[in-house]
Structure 1
Amino acid sequence: MFSAPLAYRKGRALARQLEPLASQNVAPMQTMASSPSVVYRKPAPTITASAPSPGVASVKIIRTWYPHWGNHSGINQYIKYLDPQRFHVCEQLVSENDDDFPICNRIVQDWLRHRVQRHGMTWYNLSDFNAELRTVGDRLRPSSAALLHYLDGEHSAQFLPRRRIGSRPAQIVTYHQPADVLARVVRIDVAHCFDEQEEFFRAHVGTTPVRVILHGIDTDYYRPAQRTRSSATVTCITVGHNYRDYRAVRQVAERLRSVTQLAFHVVSPRPTGVEDLPNVTCHRGLSDDELLRLYQSADILFLPLTKATANNSLLEGMACGLPVVSTSLASIHAYTSEGTAILVGNGNSDQYIDALMGLVENESMRRVMAARARHRAEELDWRNIAPQFAIRAPLIRAGAPYDANRSASLAPRSPFARRYKARVIPARRSLR
């Protein structure tokens, strides 16, 4: 049976053994020969600025590096808008796979992976476990960061004790997945949640206030282009893969093959099942600028979904002035506003077709919806969203003094937290 406290102690020992490696400037994928059977890798790099000035709060952000995210997308964009006079930010990047786990031996990896992927959490990688080990020092040293922010809660903060001890750093975990995923992973001090997650969190925190923060968008980069129509073809663009309903996309595209003035473009890092359709053009591996030009040359954002919380593609398309045809989900309603989108029942291809054809045949409606979509995106600009991220004491959030009454504290939800709470916390205190 897997003993979490024992694994934690062994993890601390492993972290001490790997500390010399962490201090070397070796590329993430570069290997160092140790023995014929065990090879060590340098963990993912830490991105940091110079040492913090006196009186400036130090924040360490641990986040997953997603290859499909561009330089202007993702929740990490809020970091750019923190006041550098008040916050000193250090980022620790974690790969989405096991590439930066320091031990390459396959047998060791398989053994450990089986024990850390609790409750069917197949997305929790050895790289995530390694990232938790690397924060052990931060949690034990009073002089380390005042706050640890795990930006991808589904990929982190699974094993470390949740309680703050003395002057050790506070922890914040931000979650991004729908409630059916969250039920298996929530273990946090303070919750930042998004739209459709609100009901789930309210059921777990009782009367404690829950802060709902919408995702933001860089409207300086994602913006409409000045263009004149050179053809009568109306272009629909679908971007992304996670929770996208490509079954509905295929049904719609197949039934509209005879509509010559309508073309579909799909951008996804994975196969979608629509590659063989003659009226669909598929794209993969686009640069930021190439994706931006594709948005700017499109006429409609066609985004069927199976479920959602925040959605980068939705905000990027709206910021580029695209009317939206998507699925009627609570989170999509939260991000769109009146006159920006046509939202239909989940998987209803008939309604999708009616919505698309209505826009194809009515250019003036497209123009009105495009202007309203851009206006809504400007309301969700990161300049407006970033100050809403409450940062727990002793820090203060950007733009306003810290208010302890607005923090949402959650009781531990996992079997690990319930079973080992009494055993882990005293063990930690004895290390002070």
Structure 2
Amino acid sequence: MPAELYGVKAVDVHAKIKLLIDGLVNITDTTGEFLMTLEDGRVIDTKGWNDWVSKSTVHRTVDLVNLQTTISQTDVSQEWTHGIGLLGLWQYYELTGDAEYLAIIENWFRDRFAAGGTTKNINTMAVFLTLAYVYERTQNETYRPWLDSWAEWAYHDLPRTRHRGFQHITYLEANKDQLWDDTLMMTVLPLAKIGRVLGRPHYVAEAQRQFLLHVQYLCDRPTGLFFHGWEFTQDQEGSSTSTTGHNFANARWARGNSWVTMVIPEFLELLEPDTNSANADAIGLFLRDVLDAQCNALTKLQDPSGLWRTLLDVPVEEGSYLEASATAGFAYGMLKARRKRYWTGNTESAISAVKAVLDNVDERGELLNTSFGTGMGHDLQHYKDIPVTSMPYGQAMAIMALVEFLRQFM
């Protein structure tokens, strides 16, 4: 095993990952700026981990008094931000076998289950991808009813768009008749994984259909990139034209694209047991081609720094700032796709992105230049105005990119 590759030492990558994990479990919203207040009075902390502070993993001083005050004022939070955070931790646990990280994950779920769960929507489904992996590994039967309940909701009761797409319903918005890139990562992939571990092939088949539908309406065919969202619209009575919908601002948004880059290799890996199925093989080949087109487009849009802009095809001079979480997502997806032989492109772009991610992890373990959670924009300015702050998904996407990079050393 080499100690150094591409000018990067493995020991330094491990050190950065541990810093990122330390930063992850210490993220707090000290101002309340990122709290989400629901109509029923609940307050969801989308930024911090609330009471997820493990003494065994927290090595720097935390103001536990102020943290506890925040906890008492908020719901025991479960959002997509936590879902991606858990996945990053799981992948580092898989790589190292260090039981400490598995304990953090299981303790997080223990606390959520004790609180009685939360509202089912596209984003809150995200955490169950990691739980499915944990259940598969531990066979802890207390997890099975949760996987069953949430997957059955997604399969039967999740609101649908025209053509039965998964409507991107969230805590605050119904987003009627809307398809988003994010849905593939937050709900479709968890449903597929649960289908695998519970032996329910109809979940996997539904996930396949959702991938095809989302690609149909979100892929920008001339570029190979993806628009953030699509909305089905009703024809106006008496109109001389017939339209099926629109892509909002036609935003080729970086993090939305990174979800696609990440989720396709993950889904292709889930399909591997079905390689003898002509249907699965055809869908797999199709998704490989989609990924190839996207990655080829991305390599041409990368900044010399190794980062990508938050609006991929809009210059920095026009307000499209360099964004690190999407960069980490692209690095992860490209490297995994190459390792699994789903993509035959050059890894030079991904290695450059990994180095940029390493450069953007500060001494506190915070991934810098991470944009806050981003709703659907009706114009490009919306994306330019999103603030930059440390977020669990930024930490986790960086962890995932660096974990995948460490596999290069094996």
Confirm or deny a common fold (TM above 0.5): no
Higher strand fraction (1 or 2): 1
Higher helix fraction (1 or 2): 2
Max Rg structure: 1
Could you tell me the TM-score, scaled by structure 2's length? Answer: 0.26
The structure showing larger relative contact order (alpha-carbon pairs under 8 Å, at least 6 residues apart) is: 2
Could you tell me the TM-score, scaled by structure 1's length? Answer: 0.25
